[in-house]
Amino acid sequence: MNDFQEIADRVEIEALLGEFTDAVMMRDRARLAALFTTDGALRMPNVPVELVGREEIRTGAERLQSRWDFFVQNSHLGTIQLDGDTATGRTYMHELARTLDGLEGVNFAIYHDTYRRTPEGWKFAERVYEVRYVDTTPLGGSAPGANGHIHGAGHAGESGHAPGTGRADASATGAADDFAEPASAERLDRTIEALRANGFTAELHDDAAAARARIKELIPPGARVFTGASETLRLSGIEEDINAGDRYQAIRPRVLKMDRATEFDEIRRLVAAPDAFVASIAAVTETGSLVIASGSGSQLPACAGGAASAIWVVGAQKVVPDLSTALRRVEEHALPLENERAQAVYGQPSAVNRLLVLNAEPQPGRSTVLLLREAIGF
């Protein structure tokens, strides 16, 4: 190999290294995956993560990035050893990050790399990530939010308490603790990405009217449909569409007419395994989990897997950073409002007697989340 070719190869490999960091920082998973050979591997034993092939690398990066509040990566070129159409090298990494569940810190690491020349140019055949130093001291800085709010130290507070203080106030958390305030466009997009990475079908719609129209497309006429008790469904008109019309075999009106003492077994079977279940939820996390609270638990079997399909209509104010904040939203916001409604309608208070958390959907296409840009319901 002549000197000119060696220089050209080194320049191209250095560009590949820079492209990797840029794709990570820009959260461009498709571009990131394309930097590897078709059988390339990304191995991170300390995480632990092992991704082989471009599709695994793309979806794996999506899962990891859905957990970030913010992430900054700096890479520094180490050595490159050329050997014909292959090469090896090392890249030194300095990274700082905060996840949505409050983990944060700084680390220094090394990527041990193997490169391969392909018809598309030099690609990573393998990257193995070795952590050399970790500092989990709470970070003093923060990342500006989309609306000028600070999402940094506030997110640590949203999962409990900010370091060295009591519970963070709304100004520190970018209004994330104002449980009636719609989430920003950035947080909605992040939630949609996380839900999809966790196996849910997730769609972002402008308002409840759009979700109402979408449900008519998702549920075929004649289907047996059970609706959960929901202010979101009532206010949007979805409850009336399903339970008052003749388009579907509506289960809720039917069971309300049945005798609880003599027909309980039939009621239980009807609500547990409908063709479609439609409801709302108490909270959705930016890491892609759904939180459902219930007094009786009657709708939970359909939620968890009994229904052939499940559709959740979710207002933008229900987006929270993490599971701990979701549980606080249930107790501090949703329950008091539901108490008022239950007292007015039933003459008795409500209670969170059952709590269901859906972290992922293992059956592709079963669960659909219609996330709205507007606030609606509790």
Place of tokens 């966790």: 198
The number of distinct structural domains making up the chain is 3
Domain assignment present for 161 = yes
Whichever domain contains 78, its CATH number is: 3.10.450.50
Shared domain for 129 and 149, answered yes or no, is: no
pTM: 0.56
Residue 142's pLDDT is 67
Shared domain for 101 and 230, answered yes or no, is: no
Residue 177's pLDDT is 59
Shared domain for 231 and 366, answered yes or no, is: yes
Helix (H, G, I), strand (E, B) or coil at 288: coil
Whichever domain contains 281, its CATH number is: 3.40.50.10420
* Amino acid at the residue 68: W
Instruction: Give per-residue pLDDT as tens, 334-365.
Output: 988 888 877 777 677 888 899 999 999 999 99
Average pLDDT, 10 consecutive residues per value, the chain (378 residues): 82 94 90 95 88 92 80 91 95 88 85 96 96 85 48 30 33 53 93 95 95 96 95 94 94 92 92 96 95 90 95 96 92 87 75 92 95 93
d(CA 221, CA 225): 10
Domain assignment present for 377 = no
Look up residue 265 and give its two tokens.
């077994």
Alpha helices in the chain (DSSP H): 3-25, 29-34, 54-65, 152-158, 185-197, 208-218, 231-236, 238-243, 251-256, 264-272, 300-301, 323-329, 335-346
Shared domain for 229 and 347, answered yes or no, is: yes
Residue 351's pLDDT is 87
Nearest residue to 63 (alpha-carbon basis) of 288, 230, 244, 239: 288
Domain assignment present for 323 = yes
Residue 27's pLDDT is 86
Residue 46's pLDDT is 81
Shared domain for 170 and 254, answered yes or no, is: no
Residue 258's pLDDT is 92
Whether 300 contacts 359, CB under 8 Å: no
Residue 164's pLDDT is 32
Shared domain for 290 and 343, answered yes or no, is: yes
Residue 2's pLDDT is 60
Domain assignment present for 140 = no
Domain of residue 165, residue span: 145-177
